[in-house]
Structure 1
Amino acid sequence: MIDFLNRNVFQPHPELLVFITVALGFLFGKLRYRTLALGAVTGCLVAGLLLGAQFEVTIDATVKNLFFTMSLFALGYKVGPQFFRGLKKDGLPQVVNAVVVCVTGLLVSWGFAAMLGYGPGLSAGLLGGALTQSAVIGVAQDAIGNLPGLSAAQTKNEENLVAIGYAVTYPLGTILCALLLANVLPKLYKRDLAAESARLAEELDAPGDDPDLSEGYYEVVLRAYRVERPDLAGRTIDD
């Protein structure tokens, strides 16, 4: 049955497997155990791992790069207004926190990669998955492609290992991060996570309760300016 679907359905039409993976990913993302849920991103990754192990389907490189770039664009487009608004409020602590997390994650990943004897591909995948940063994949694959002394086959193998390392470590990084943020840190700082989240969502105008199904529409933000010179009141810009 799997061979039949592989040869006659998914290989001629790989887009079917892509959309099936997304559908199953959203379904897996709804699974919840107490306060822990996978979410759509991790669910799609798990679905991709399961289906990819069963069906040999090659996705065109242009399609992969296009969808990867679109995901980065959508992420930046969504969090951009909230990012700059939050940066104005308490920018310095956010910058310091980001630097500490990035540097710590890089050093820990580098240490484990060196200890385990990983090459550049698995090392980059370990870093991206542990920090749950998909942008590492594109940057690492471009960097590996420019490494001197590697044959075309070695370069291709290392680029594939980036995705493998990322796919293995991303679910673990997501689950451990969720446990840390939901259970450990609120108790450590003695904060009510539900109340703090509701207050922050109201401040940032977060649309909807489900981040996977919320609308991408934001109301137009209007700005008003006070004219300090009375002689300019009532005049147009052309004047």
Structure 2
Amino acid sequence: MSESTEEIVTLFGVICLGLMLGRITWRGISLGTSGVVFVALAAGHLGYAVPQTAGTVGIVLFVYCLGIGAGPSFLGMFLQRGRSLIILAVCMIISAGLIAWGVAEMLGLSPGLAAGLFAGALTSTPALAAASERLPLDTEVAVGFGIAYPFGVVGVVLFINILPRLLSDRSSSTHGTNGNTPLDRSITRVLVDVTNPNVAGKRSRDLAIFAKANCQISRVMVNDKLQPPPASFQLETGQRILVVGAKCHIPEVVEVLGQECQDVEYVLDVERQHRRVVVTSKNVIGQSLKQLHLLSKFGVTISRITRQDVEFVPSPSEILQSGDALTAVGELSGLEQFVEFAGHRERTLEETDLISLLLGLTLGIFVGHVNFELGTLSVSLGLAGGPLLVGLVLGHMGHIGPIAGWMPRAARFLLSEIGLSLFLAQAGAQAGGQLFSVIQRYGVVLPLGAVIIVIVPLAVGVLLAKYVCRLGRLEAAGGICGAMTSTPGLGAVTSMVDSSIPSTSYAAVYPLALILMTILAPLLISQL
């Protein structure tokens, strides 16, 4: 077997064993794809090698898909989520970077080892990728990552369990929930018999309860058949309407309208009256449903929106973002007109445009090699920053000329996982030969440094959430987990409470945290 063949076999073997290791779960905690780096470190220590180009290809694929996925919501977070979560995330990440720099200076750590500790403590593989791309091949960045990563995972999970003692109940109640009352937020349909004469002659937008409860009238019963509501639809007593909303809020709407129809069977004409539309058109991006007047223009009602894998019933003030998947209900002719107006039918976008993918990757590589002159300093984004920036812009805008920024979630996730696995396998195998020599050289001070880098930003986050940002307990928990890019931490939160607040805060902060860490890791290297 030739040397190149052995390296390819080793690459596949390391990735396979690493993913198997990542699937092992202990008390809800697992390594995921990061398990690859631990197997790769062991393989490198035993003298095995993987193809050098695997890491380069992996970095480009991973960060480009990361940008495509974060692009639609990244700018929206600044515009819609307010300053509190942004301040929380920025201060936590900067404090982690400063502590990593201080630890490196005190212990005399190499730039690669310090950057690896920073990336591992914050469980950030994008930061590891950015640091690796800036350093020579024989650096210790993957060793630092492997040492700090377990402390980053376990530390956040343990911290989440003591967070209720650090934040008072009053801070949690400022958000209207103390997290003790579980609410069923699953989306459901209820057929309602309108009996309240006070709502007769009114549209749903005239009743505040619909906006408050985020519910929609998706169909009205005509001659024992459910039909989409016409543009001129008004409520009348004796009507039977189909209301869509969260199960915990629908009773409030039913109470205002009349009563729920019991034991009434109905059939939905999903094929003719229903479309899933992915928003890509400038006609609707950045506009609220109220501003678009879809019912009067097309006879279409938006009953649900799926954004960042979260499905919800929108309010009239909901602003549409690029990549939103809309569930539109209406007559066939109006639906087809709306599809052309808003974007594309979802099933037409299930295939990845390989030409756009390759052009986007190539453009990202070129952008990464552009040098920016800052006085006497020449700076470039590199193979980690260039594709990330192009991915963010494409994801936000939808396309740049002929290059499409849309990629189906399954394809994006697959390419991202392949890229990350390739990069971790190469980086770990490259650094594995130095693993034990580094541990023998520094002893217990490296784990101790990793613990400090984990604890300080968590403490900063609690202080800011309690005294500066005035966040509720659940919003603070989600925001802190997002700033630490800790999915296991979020899992610990959601296992304790039945609320969507932590997940919403996490989703708002997570893209910003990934990008800031990608920027800070090379900056940390330059200062050491």
What does residue 41 of structure 1 align with? 33
Q: Return the letter of the residue paired with 1:185.
A: L
Matched, 1:50 2:38: no
Q: 1:184 aligns with which of 148, 162, 170?
A: 162
Q: CA deviation at 1:180?
A: 3.0
Q: Return the letter of the residue paired with 1:170.
A: Y
Q: CA deviation at 1:56?
A: 1.9
- CA–CA separation in structure 2 for the residues paired with 1:15 and 1:78: 29
- CA–CA separation in structure 1 for the residues paired with 2:306 and 2:158: 25
Q: Do 1:122 and 1:162's aligned partners in 2 also have CA atoms closer than 8 Å?
A: yes
Q: CA deviation at 1:82?
A: 4.1
1:84-103 alpha-carbon deviations (Å, 9 max, x no partner): 44444314223212211221
Q: Return the letter of the residue paired with 1:12.
A: T
- CA–CA separation in structure 2 for the residues paired with 1:19 and 1:156: 21
What does residue 215 of structure 1 align with? none
Q: Which runs of 5+ in 2 are unaligned?
A: 173-177, 187-304, 312-322, 327-338, 343-528
Q: Do 2:119 and 2:128's aligned partners in 1 also have CA atoms closer than 8 Å?
A: yes
Q: 1:172 aligns with which of 133, 140, 151?
A: 151
Structure 2 CA distance for partners of 1:91 and 1:125, relative to 1, 3 Å: same
Q: Do 1:31 and 1:37's aligned partners in 2 also have CA atoms closer than 8 Å?
A: yes
What does residue 309 of structure 2 align with? 206
Q: Which has the higher helix share?
A: 1
Matched, 1:14 2:117: no
Q: Do 2:11 and 2:51's aligned partners in 1 also have CA atoms closer than 8 Å?
A: no
1:120-155 alpha-carbon deviations (Å, 9 max, x no partner): 2212222222222333345445555xxxxxxxxxx5
Structure 2 CA distance for partners of 1:45 and 1:141, relative to 1, 3 Å: closer
Instruction: Give the 3-state SS of the residue equivalent to 2:49 in structure 1.
Output: coil
Matched, 1:128 2:119: yes
Aligned residue-pair number: 189
Q: TM-score, normalised to structure 1's length?
A: 0.63
Q: CA deviation at 1:110?
A: 1.0
Structure 2 CA distance for partners of 1:31 and 1:58, relative to 1, 3 Å: closer
What does residue 228 of structure 1 align with? none
Matched, 1:90 2:86: no
Q: Do 1:124 and 1:162's aligned partners in 2 also have CA atoms closer than 8 Å?
A: yes
1:217-237 alpha-carbon deviations (Å, 9 max, x no partner): x7755776xxxxxxxxxxxxx
Q: CA deviation at 1:83?
A: 3.7
- CA–CA separation in structure 1 for the residues paired with 2:3 and 2:324: 41
Q: Return the letter of the residue paired with 2:309.
A: A
Structure 2 CA distance for partners of 1:219 and 1:22, relative to 1, 3 Å: farther
Q: CA deviation at 1:55?
A: 4.1
Q: Do 1:87 and 1:94's aligned partners in 2 also have CA atoms closer than 8 Å?
A: no
- CA–CA separation in structure 2 for the residues paired with 1:133 and 1:36: 16
- CA–CA separation in structure 2 for the residues paired with 1:68 and 1:125: 16
What does residue 55 of structure 2 align with? 64
Q: CA deviation at 1:116?
A: 0.9
Q: Do 2:11 and 2:50's aligned partners in 1 also have CA atoms closer than 8 Å?
A: no
- CA–CA separation in structure 2 for the residues paired with 1:32 and 1:176: 16
Q: CA deviation at 1:188?
A: 4.6
Q: CA deviation at 1:34?
A: 1.8
Structure 2 CA distance for partners of 1:76 and 1:164, relative to 1, 3 Å: same
- CA–CA separation in structure 2 for the residues paired with 1:10 and 1:169: 33
Q: Return the letter of the residue paired with 2:5.
A: P
Structure 2 CA distance for partners of 1:64 and 1:143, relative to 1, 3 Å: closer
What does residue 237 of structure 1 align with? none
Q: Do 1:126 and 1:169's aligned partners in 2 also have CA atoms closer than 8 Å?
A: yes
- CA–CA separation in structure 1 for the residues paired with 2:123 and 2:17: 20
Q: TM-score, normalised to structure 2's length?
A: 0.31
Q: Do 1:125 and 1:165's aligned partners in 2 also have CA atoms closer than 8 Å?
A: yes
CA RMSD in angstroms, aligned pairs only? 3.5
Q: Which runs of 5+ in 1 are unaligned?
A: 1-7, 145-154, 209-217, 225-239
1:8-55 alpha-carbon deviations (Å, 9 max, x no partner): 4875332222222222222222211223222x2222222222333334
Range 74-83 or range 25-34, more displaced: 74-83
Q: Do 2:18 and 2:38's aligned partners in 1 also have CA atoms closer than 8 Å?
A: yes
What does residue 255 of structure 2 align with? none
Q: CA deviation at 1:67?
A: 0.7
- CA–CA separation in structure 2 for the residues paired with 1:83 and 1:70: 19
Structure 2 CA distance for partners of 1:76 and 1:91, relative to 1, 3 Å: farther
Q: Do 2:101 and 2:114's aligned partners in 1 also have CA atoms closer than 8 Å?
A: yes
Instruction: Give the 3-state SS of the residue equivalent to 1:33 in structure 2.
Output: coil
Q: Return the letter of the residue paired with 2:60.
A: T
Q: Return the letter of the residue paired with 1:41.
A: T
1:110-149 alignment to 2 at 5 Å? 110-141=101-132, 143-144=134-135
Structure 2 CA distance for partners of 1:113 and 1:132, relative to 1, 3 Å: same
